[in-house]
Amino acid sequence: MAISKTTRKQVFDVYGGRCAYCGCELSKGWHVDHIEAVVRRKKRIDGKLVDAGFERPENDCVENMAPSCPPCNIQKHGQTVEVFRSQIAAFINSLNQYHSIYRFAKRYGLIEETNKPVVFYFETIAANESTL
């Protein structure tokens, strides 16, 4: 499932060299994400994990690919965009529940929770294009 240099360049250019999710500028080591997951199968041969094909091969097309920074792609994993959005939104509750240093920084006004909805960069680009 190697992606050609031409396809990588095409995917990179879709959002002007920015991550489709957070919008940061992409640098060396950026990832190509499958928006709708392509599930890779692995099997063990002589104690080593090797590729054993993948499920949903129809999702392995350039129209289903998005440029992503490594943190966003790793966090998203094989989830849908909506599950990824929900997971990010739930981070605040998790931070408040399990991380005293987060609560401490919030107490001193260093962190302000906004309760804004999670909007991905690709959605802001689409919204801007629809108003033109």
What's the confidence (pLDDT) of residue 104?
97
Residues of the chain with pLDDT under 50: none
Q: Tell me the pLDDT tens digit for each residue of 28-57.
A: 999 999 999 887 777 888 888 887 777 777
Task: Say how far apart CA 62 and CA 34 lie, in whole Å.
Answer: 9
CA–CA–CA angle 104, 105, 106 (5° rounding): 90
Taking a C-beta distance cutoff of 8 angstroms, is the pair 125, 16 a contact? Answer: no
Beta pairing partners, 33: 66
Beta pairing partners, 32: 67
CB atoms within 10 A of CB 2: 4
What's the confidence (pLDDT) of residue 47?
85
What's the confidence (pLDDT) of residue 55?
77
CA 14 to chain centre: 15
